[in-house]
Amino acid sequence: MRVAALALLTLLVQPAMAVDQLVLTIENRSSIALERLNVFPIGKDGEAIEDNLGAILEDVPPGGSFALKLSLSRCETVRGYAGLAGRDDDVPVDIDLCKEPKLVLKD
């Protein structure tokens, strides 16, 4: 009887502990590959906080897409740093996940 009660309690507690993850869709409509993307929360001062919410470390070719699971349970504006093929620097881009959880790269 105790085992059944414990199993039932576990089933009831799991949904409360589960954290939904937001998914950021990346669509590469540009003519160059996206080589990497790191996503960070933005602090009240408008600067990125060193708490990586998710990253892509593989190429997203022109015409390709990628679904990136972020370590967030609610929508907010985040800052991505995109590494594009042929560029040494990362391009910063703010993404409003509440408006649309999508990043579209264009030329």
> For 98, which DSSP code?
T
pLDDT, position 14: 43
> In this predicted structure, what is the pLDDT of residue 18?
43
Which pLDDT belongs to residue 57? 87
Q: Which domains does the chain have, with CATH numbers?
A: 19-105 (2.60.40.4150)
Between CA 52 and CA 64 the distance in angstroms is 23
- Supply the pLDDT for residue 30: 94
pLDDT (tens digit per residue) in 11-43 = 444 444 444 689 999 999 999 999 999 999 999
Say which residue, 14 or 92, is predicted with more confidence. 92
* pLDDT at residue 67 in the model: 95
Q: What is the pLDDT of residue 107?
A: 87
**Where does residue 61 fall: left (phi above 0), alpha (psi -120 to 50 degrees), or beta otherwise?**
beta
pLDDT digits (tens, 9 = 90+) for 45-77: 999 999 999 999 889 999 999 999 999 888 999
Extended strands (E) in 1-107: 22-28, 34-41, 54-56, 65-70, 77-84, 90-96, 102-105
